[in-house]
Amino acid sequence: MIDIKNYENLAKTYKTPLYIYDFDKIKNNYLDLKEAFKARKSLICYAVKANSNLNILKLLADLGSGFDCVSFNEVKKALISGASRYKIIFSGVGKTDDEIENALKEDILMLNIESFEELLNVEKIAKSLNLKARISVRVNPNINPKTHPYISTGLKENKFGVSINEARKIYIYAKKSDFLESIGIHFHIGSQLSDVTPILESATLVSSLMRELKALEIDIKFFDIGGGIGIKYDDEKTINLYEYAQGVLKALDGQDCTIVCEPGRSIVANAGEMLVKVLYKKENDGKNFLIVDGAMNDLLRPSLYNAFHNIVSLKNSQDLVNFDIVGPICESGDFLGKDRYLPNLDKGDLLVVKDAGAYGFSMSSNYNSRLKPAEVALINSEVKLIRKRQSFEDLIKDERV
Ligand code: LLP
């Protein structure tokens, strides 16, 4: 992404571990997806959970992006980044009463309903505010997305959405209510998908429900196909965006609506890297470890999903050593990569953990009372600090003694 000298300068200036984002890449990822859907009215709603730095949200809002939010705080972050309220969707199985009330007052595009009980709650709150809640229903199509079980969401054993039959009931109930207006239909079957087939099967199923609803005079305007487009961390197959968009159009079979897509990872993952520094090298009976200053609290994906992130050295050498790259946290699960062949690095050498822009910082924590890393962005060949490193004072400021 940037040249070696710059990595060294960045480490000197901002210290490590450090997240580095390339804003041109984020912009291009967004525009490529928008382009794939150009034949139709489309709205890309970036999934804020993937990376919610305000500067990234602002970059996307300025490009015209909408936002898929999973808490009211994400809605607030999208709004203060300049997003249009009519491009904000609020999803999630467990919205609290306060969150629903605030979202309705903010007049965002729609709330994604995930159960009948939630529908009744939204209706009650809308009634108390004397307004009409615009809703969408998340359909769980019970289709296997063929991804890691922790990020699979479209099977009936997953907590997300409702069955086709339940969705139909929800729409019929909503039609009779003075406080509900159904404008969308939604599915999201999982993340890091490398095969377009299960997405298109789901689209076909959900599209036929949409057609059925039309016959009942329930006119759905937004067909929301969720996110889930996978990226290449290693040697995965990836989804061809053109094939994806064409497949969705085919599933719609001429029905008039705006296609909504909620990508997170495919917008930011490959635009981000985490820079770490070697603290120690050690050998345990033939097993080699590089202990670096970045850990599972900074990037949880390897520990949580056994996810692969390419890790590259800035040094060139033909003599490679097999290392596990581990962090300082007191858990054996604290690793960034296992069995990687790298030059025989020493204390102070830098390593770049690739494709860390999505679900990296946003899943970071203060475990072991470690401070959250800084984030910088490359914007028009300039480096800008977009989040300062946490301080010890930040760490304890909410504690009351
Ligand atoms: N829409 C909904 C309703 C979602 O639940 C998600 C992600 C997205 C959109 C965006 O999906 P994406 O395009 O990023 O695949 N922490 C995990 C990923 C969890 C995804 C949760 N939902 C990871 O690091 O792989």
CA distance 190 to 346: 40
Task: Say if ligand 1 is within 6 A of residue 309 CB.
Answer: no
Q: 265 near 231, Cβ under 8 Å?
A: yes
Q: What is the pLDDT of residue 39?
A: 83
**Residue 186 is assigned to a structural domain of this protein:** yes
263 is in an annotated binding site: yes
**Domain shared by 147 and 118, yes or no:** yes
> What CATH number did the domain enclosing 158 receive?
3.20.20.10
Alpha-carbon Rg for the chain in angstroms: 23
**CA pair distance 171, 214, nearest whole angstrom:** 11
Please check whether residue 52 is in contact with residue 386, taking contact to mean a CB–CB distance below 8 angstroms: no
Q: Print pLDDT tens along the chain (401 aa).
A: 667 769 999 999 999 999 999 999 999 999 999 999 998 899 999 999 999 999 999 999 999 999 999 999 999 999 999 999 999 999 999 999 999 999 999 999 999 999 999 999 999 999 999 999 999 999 999 888 777 777 667 777 778 889 999 999 999 999 999 999 999 999 999 999 999 999 999 999 999 999 999 999 999 999 999 999 999 999 999 999 999 999 999 999 999 999 999 999 999 999 999 999 999 999 999 999 999 999 999 999 999 999 999 999 999 999 999 999 999 999 999 999 999 999 999 999 999 999 999 999 999 999 999 999 999 999 998 999 999 999 999 999 999 99
C-alpha to C-alpha distance for 364 and 340, rounded to whole angstroms: 23
* Contact predicate 97/125, CB 8 Å: yes
- Whether 28 is covered by a domain: the verdict is no
Q: What is the pLDDT of residue 381?
A: 87
Q: Determine the distance separating the centroid of ligand 1 and the alpha carbon of 230, expressed in angstroms.
A: 10
Q: From the CB of 91, is ligand 1 less than 6 Å away?
A: yes
Same domain, 47 and 194: yes
161 lines ligand 1 (CB under 6 A): no
The catalytic site residues sit at 330
Distance CA 378, CA 390 (A): 20
Interatomic CA distance for residues 377 and 364, integer angstroms: 18
Residue in the structure block whose two tokens are 């962005």: 377
Is 305 annotated as a binding-site member? yes
Which residue reads 């820079």 in tokens? Answer: 275
**CB of 227 closer than 6 angstroms to any ligand 1 atom:** yes
Establish whether 92 is an annotated binding residue: no
Residue 372: which of 389, 393, 353, 360 has the closest Cα?
A: 389
CA of 69 to the centre of ligand 1 (A): 11
Q: What is the CATH number of the domain that holds 327?
A: 2.40.37.10
Burial of 169 (0-12, 13-18, 19+ CB in 10 A): middle
Q: How far is CA 265 from CA 52, 174, 187, in A?
A: 12, 33, 17
Point out the ligand 1 atom lying closest to the alpha carbon of residue 50. 14
The total number of structural domains in the chain stands at 2
Asked whether residue 250 falls in the same domain as residue 293, the answer is no
What is the pLDDT at residue 1? 66
Instruction: From 263, 289, 307, give the residue that closes a domain.
Output: 263
262 is annotated as contributing to ligand binding: yes
Domain boundaries, position 175: 39-263
In one letter, which amino acid is 206?
V
Cα of 162 to ligand 1 centre, how many Å? Answer: 18
Indicate whether 229 and 98 sit together in one domain: yes
